[in-house]
Amino acid sequence: MQRKKLLISVGIAAVALLGVSLGSRHYFQTHFHRHVTINGINVGGLTAAQAYEKVSQTKLTNRVYLNGKLVFDGHDQQPVFAKDAKQTVARQLQKQATWFPSRQPHAYTLPLQMDQAALRADMKATLHHQLGQLNGNKRLPVDAKAVWHANRVTVTPAKHGTAYDEAKVMAALRRHQNEPTIKLTAKVQQPLEVDSPTVKKAVAALKKLNNGQVTYQVAGHPVKVKASQVIDKATYQAGKYHFTPVKEAAVIKQLNAKYATLGKKFKFTTHAGNTITTTADGDYGWKIMASRAATTIGQAIVTGRTQVDAKADIYGQGYDTRGLGYGVTKNDGLGDTYAEVSIADQHAWFYRDGKLVASADVVTGKHSSGDDTPKGVWYVMYQQMHTTLRGTGDDGKPYASPVTYWTPFTLSGCGFHDASWRKNWSKTAYLTDGSNGCVNMHPADAGVAFKALSNKEPVIVY
């Protein structure tokens, strides 16, 4: 009998509990939990319709408080929402459906359907000004920083400041901008600490530079260059490397000494088959710009490339400062298209693709006055027809000489041209009756030479 009574009691309790649960379930399917807000307005215990009514009837004061102080006081407005705002509130209520009450706070947003752009811009500007005043004499924090140098990563600790975190205040303003009254709290800006994920990630990325290297192609010659040879210091921020290149990298000096041609003497085989060494004078050739090369190689390393060519890093001098002859291997870097001028022979030879296409007697610069045609390796700057050459003669007087063919190869004004006024064409004329530095040619030969020449080809004078 007692067992039967016990079973009946348990059954009644279970039915009662089920009833309470079902009732609770129904209530919280139709009413918001106690700690729920919409646009900062508490709607706890209200139905969706009641919640919408409360939110839609609460005027926007458009006041902004910062740390309890009123910093912006806009005019009151009646909020305007989209036509489906009621349905939006109903959907927000459906998200909370539970069996029992919840103390978990939930903040929902019901977007305004009104032009607030100017008002919000004013709020933002005012808040920025207020924060500027508050931070006027305060100290900014300094993040912990990882720096790579000479295959070592050093991390400097963070320095705490006293300035408020403006970015977080502005972010809070955006989050609460639909609320009738906006209350913000400014907190001191915190720096990145040594043990922060950001700094740890930077340290790991920078350590990879210890093994960083790239193949630097120099005129067809592959050269392995390490990060430590071209990168002075490096940091890693926002997923990218930032580095300071070595100003005068020793490795670039070594490469220039071994491969570059600008300012060097060339081994040159003359028309007669003799091998001579030119002077180091002249503008023909190329050289690697150390600062540019260090940046190119460093960028290749930090972006994971395996090789890069030096072509973009070369420079030259004279009329064309981009450098000439890069990648040319024939004839000690001079190639097989060039002009050859022998001062001793007073003769010029013009080669194209290794074949002699023109040859002529010439008269070079006057030796007795020091106006010798400069020896060295130069290059054709440009070509021009029917022009007038102007300058100052040995007597100090200006001259103007019309020519039909003009091909300059030095910035000082030396070049090939016809000299119809010249009477003395002897092999020794250059000693006391030479030109002002140019290579004078018979009018009949000048046109042939003009056609044989081309821009940027080397001119070897010896």
Catalytic, out of 31, 33, 417, 442: 417
- In this structure, the chain runs to a length of 462
Q: Are 139 and 162 in contact (CB under 8 A)?
A: yes
Q: Residue 70 and residue 72: Cα distance in Å, rounded?
A: 6
Q: Residue 439 and residue 350: Cα distance in Å, rounded?
A: 13
Q: Is 417 a catalytic residue?
A: yes
| Structure tokens given for 101 | 């009450």
Q: Is 242 a catalytic residue?
A: no
Q: Which of 173, 76, 77, 181 is nearest to 127 (CA)?
A: 173
Q: Which of 366, 378, 372 is nearest to 280 (CA)?
A: 378
Catalytic, out of 31, 33, 414, 438: 438
Q: HEC string of the chain? A: CHHHHHHHHHHHHHHHHHHHHHHHHHHHHHCCCCCEEECCEECCCCCHHHHHHHHHHCCECCEEEECCEEEEECCCECCCECCCHHHHHHHHHHCCCCCCCCCCCEEECCCECCCCHHHHHHHHHHHHHHHHHHCCCCCCCECCEEEEECCEEEEECCECCCCECHHHHHHHHHHCCCCCEEEECCCECCCCCCCCHHHHHHHHHHHHHHHCEEEEEECCEEEEEEHHHHEEEEEEECCEEEEEECCCCHHHHHHHHHHCCCCCCCEEECCCCCEEECCCCCCCCCEECHHHHHHHHHHHHHCCCCEEEHHHHEECCCCCCCCCCCCCCHHHHCCCCEEEEECCCCEEEEEECCEEEEEEEEECECCCCCCCCCCEEEECCCCEEEEEEEEECCCCCEEEEEEEEEEECCCCCCEEEECCCCCCCCCCHHHHHCECCCEEECHHHHHHHHHHCCCCCEEEEC
| Residue type at 10 in one-letter notation | V
For the annotated catalytic residues, the residue numbers are 417, 438
